[in-house]
Structure 1
Amino acid sequence: MQATVAIVIFLCAYVLIATEKVHRTAVALGGAGLMLLLHITDAEDSFYSEESGIDWNVIFLLLGMMVIVSVLRQTGVFEYVAIWAAKRARGRPYRLMVMLVVLTASASALLDNVTTVLLIAPVTFLVCERLALRPEPYLVAEVMASNIGGTATLVGDPPNIIIASRGDLSFNDFLVHLAPLVVLLMAVFCLLCRWLFRSAFRYDPKLAAEVMALKEREVITDRRLLVQGLAVLAVVVAAFVLHPVLHYEPSVVALLGAGLLVAATKVTTEDALGEVEWPTLVFFAGLFVMVGGLVETGVIGEVSEAAADATEGRLGAAAMLLLWASAGLSAIVDNIPYVATMSPIVADLVRQYPGDDGQVLWWALALGADLGGNATAIGASANVVVLGIAARHGSPISFWYFTRYGLVVTLVTVALATPYLWLRYL
């Protein structure tokens, strides 16, 4: 009975988020409140459980990086990068998009994808303003590139960290097995952008000439703060990359970096926290509680186990089903709790095959979850963050605007991942 109620609450919340009749933060809080009110989950499971509770690592990673970005914004560095990018693209909209998505994907392989979009979004707004371009297509393309690029490494996407822990996989394992495919996917994605966002590429020679005449160095307003901010950011990035050695969670690293930056500079606490996307953080908390209700009642577990049973011990069938089922489910629920729920089942499946044969199942799970996160506006953490930033800057991106592009990108990328897994491992 409770499982049915949990499903009804989640589906109703999902419909409200998709139709945008009610603000998504209010929907998430309302859904979470109903889950708690009806004892589908409780405070213990919602606030303290690693399996079904709020993922505080995600919340505090976002908070820490939002503070760092807030401090950096006061130096003028984002204006600098915006002018530099516009000049290198010579004001050509499509060339600019390719430059931004490649930069985003590359950064997402070293940073996590949420951190990357937090850094690239301010640049996007500034450069689009200079060239009188709509920022929404560029933001959507960038967040999709971040999800694709983040697939390449252990630290690039939060689900990869969970998979690495469960599967005893190293940073180099992800690099060797997934990075070659990601390079191919990014090449295809850049070509896909030319068709998907063709209506957004309107070239204005006059504005392009004005941008070419700008001197980017002149927009830096505080060089000392810039040096301090970049130094802290470099240390934070290094700690992300060295996670397998240092064993500090990214959330801890981000909070320490944010605290150090605020304490060691003249930036006030009020200014540093003023740019934090609080509605986005609250939305995540509510979403985690709702998904936790599905976990607690066994809904997600039953779906995952049914998918595993359907393969009947055939490795090829298991990998393909896992790839496509993960992509489909990650489009509906955030891929972090999905992977957390699915990884124990995959671990059991992997042990059923001799040697390293079963390892392909981990790559199928990673590709399905990471690439499937592009399908809808709430499929991945980076998507939600970008929607929050866009709304704050007066350029709201609707659920369906994102999803109509996301579904195409997901279908194409997962379709390309299918022969890659089959030919390389099966």
Structure 2
Amino acid sequence: MKEIIVMITFFVVMYTIITHKINRTISAMLGALFLLIIKIFPDQLMAIEHYIDYNTIFLLIGMMLFVSVIKKSGIFSYIGIQTLKIFGKNGYMLFISLTILVGLISAFIDNVTTILVFIPITFAITDALKINYMPFILGEIFASNIGGTATIIGDPPNIMIASASGMSFIEFLGSQMPISVINLIVADIFLLIVFKKDLSKKIDHDFVKKFNPNESIQNKMHFFISSVLFLIVVVSFSFQHQIDIESSIIALSAGFIALVTMEEKNTEEILKEIEWESILFFMGLFLITGAMEEVGLLEDFSKILISFAGHSSRMFASFMLAISGLFSGFVDNIPFTATMIPVVRDLPTMNPEVFKNLDPIWFSLALGSCLGGNFTPIGASANILGLAMIKQFKKEEVKFSHFMLYGGAIVLMNIIFSEIYINLRYY
């Protein structure tokens, strides 16, 4: 009975989010609270403690705070104008350079952080050129999720998979980097064709030359502090595992240090700029997917997958890639990956002859879990935050169906290319 209630709750919440019948945050929180009230979880406080990923929540708060403070120094406008002067020969080159940069950085730094940094830069560029920001923002969101597939530290599921399989950083990189590059190229070509009208607009070179990046600096001392803090944050995230500090601690430290050194007098105003709506949405979503894990829905699904494709390693890997890509578009990929890891790990005991080499299955799970995030607006943290920033800065809302039109096509193409890659490389 609990399984049915959780499933119905999940579909009702998804329906209201997709159709915009109810504000997504209200819908997710009401769904989560309903499941808590009817005792789906044995212990309500333990459920909140166990299933809400507070590292992600505090990472978001810290980076939102950090970005809100340093953007007032003009650092994003400065970087934007410099990027424009170097790559602003035409819309195509500007689009490709930004998406490649985002994809590359997302392979080594948290996707959310990358998006929170690059979107204000992109707004500064597109505003200056008076061109449509939408293809650039969508391209960066998709690139961040694709780039995250390349390394162990690119996305949380990769960390979990590498830990369970015992893979080294180089082993993972050697397998995933080639297909990540291919998938990013495919996504870029698709968006270049779809947004040809916007990206083909000529950029006035004489107009670009008139821009002086130094004019964007509002306060030289604040600009210097912002630059130093920004560099420290990038280095800290890059070497986070070596220095053994959680990403949320890095983000919160950066946010509050920036606040106290530059905008201490405007603390109340700055705190209001944090997207609290998105934070609450994440918390509700974590609890709903936690309920699916609690009642065994994800475990039941894994058993069905084994009974259907457990007689062939090639078929199992193909199904794993496709199904994880589909599921990760609608539910958080962390609990899904956590549920599938023991399933994959136990395959050799179930059929030793068929499952001698688990590498293709591990990589299929990693690819599907990360790439599927591009399927819907709620498929990945980067999507939710990117669209929230469009609403915050541009007062516009991207419809669920509108995003899914582009994201769904890209995920489909990426999954097909990934299937071909896995089959050619491992079978």
| TM-score interval, smaller chain | over 0.9
Q: Do the aligned partners of residues 350 and 145 (structure 1) sit closer, same or farther apart at CA in structure 2, a change above 3 Å counting?
A: farther
Q: Deviations over 1:43-82 (max 9, x none)?
A: 2343122xxx111111111111112211220110111122
Is 1:243 paired with 2:244? no
Corresponding residue number in structure 2 for 1:8: 8
2:86 counterpart residue number: 88
Kindly state the Cα deviation for residue 185 of structure 1 after the two structures are TM-superposed.
Answer: 1.8
Query: AA paired with 1:136?
Result: M
- Residues 171, 244 of structure 1: 8 Å contact kept: no
Structure 2: how far apart are the matches of 1:173 and 1:265? 43
Match of 1:286 among 284, 287, 310: 284
Corresponding residue for residue 365 of structure 2: 365
Which residue of the partner structure matches residue 177 of structure 2?
179
- For 1:395-410, what aligned pairs fall within 5 Å after superposition? 395-410=396-411
Aligned partner of 2:160 in structure 1 is 162
Is it true that 1:47 corresponds to 2:45 in the alignment? Answer: no
| 8 Å CA contact retained: 2:139, 2:188 | no
- Structure 1 window deviating more from structure 2 (166-175 vs 344-353): it is 344-353
CA contact 1:280–1:384 (8 Å) conserved in 2? yes
Gaps of 5+ in 2: none
Tell me what 1:332 maps to. Answer: 330
Q: Does 1:386 align with 2:386?
A: yes
- Deviation digits for residues 130-159 of structure 1, max 9, x if unmatched? 222222222111100100011111222222
Return 5+ residue gaps in structure 1 as ranges.
Answer: none
Give the counterpart letter for 1:74 in structure 2. K
TM-score of the two chains, using structure 1 as the length reference: 0.93
Q: Does residue 257 in structure 1 map to residue 254 in structure 2?
A: yes
Give, in whole Å, the separation in 1 of the partners of 2:167 and 2:270. Answer: 37
Query: In structure 2, what is the equivalent of residue 100 of structure 1?
Result: 98
Query: Cα 1:244–1:164, aligned 2, differ >3 Å: closer, same or farther?
Result: farther
**Take 1:93 and 1:117, find their aligned partners in 2: how far apart are those partners?**
20
Is residue 91–residue 203 contact of structure 1 (8 Å, CA) maintained in 2? no
Displacement after TM superposition at 1:202 (Å): 5.4
Change (3 A) 1:3 1:276: same
Question: Structure 1 residues 157, 378: closer, same or farther in 2, change over 3 A?
Answer: same
Q: Name whichever of 297-306 and 405-414 sits farther off.
A: 297-306
Q: Give the 3 Å change call, closer, same or farther, for CA 360–270 of structure 1 in structure 2.
A: same
Structure 1 segment 313-324 matched on structure 2, within 5 A: 313-324=311-322
Q: Residues of 2 paired with 1:389 and 1:362: CA distance?
A: 34
CA distance in 2, matches of 1:134, 1:314: 48
Distance across 1 between alignment mates of 2:389 and 2:7: 29
* Secondary structure at 1:152 match in 2: coil
Separation in 2, partners of 1:290, 1:333: 9
Aligned length: 422
For 1:225, give the aligned amino acid.
H
Cα distance between partner residues in 1 of 2:66 and 2:136: 23
Q: Which residue, 207, 210, 217 being the options, matches 1:210?
A: 207
Deviation at 1:398, TM superposition (A): 1.2
Report what 2:76 is aligned to. Answer: 78
Q: 1:372-393 CA distances to partner (integer Å, 9 max, x unpaired)?
A: 1111111111111111111112
Shift in Å, 1:323: 0.6
Mean Cα deviation higher: 217-226 or 327-336:
217-226
Provide closer, same or farther for how the CA distance between residues 147 and 166 of structure 1 changes in structure 2, counting only shifts above 3 A.
same
Displacement, 1:350? 6.1
Secondary structure class of the residue paired with 1:332: coil
The alpha-carbon distance between structure 1 residues 203 and 169, as it changes in their structure 2 partners (threshold 3 A), is: same
Superposed CA offset, 1:346-386 (max 9, x none)? 23236765898212222111100111111111111111111
RMSD over aligned Cα atoms: 2.1
CA contact (8 A) 1:13 1:27 kept: yes
Q: CA deviation at 1:343?
A: 2.2
Find the residue that maps to 2:250 and give its secondary structure: helix
Deviations 1:1-38 (A, max 9, x none): 11111111110110110011211111111111111122
Which stretch of structure 1 is more off in the superposition, 245-254 or 104-113?
245-254
The question of whether the paired residues in 1 share the 8 Å contact of 2:325 and 2:369 is answered with: yes
Q: Percent identity over the alignment? A: 34
Does the aligned pair in 2 maintain the 1:155–1:240 contact within 8 Å?
no
Residues 136 and 397 in structure 1, CA contact (< 8 A), matched pair in contact too: no
Amino acid at match of 1:141: G
Matching residue's letter, 2:239: L
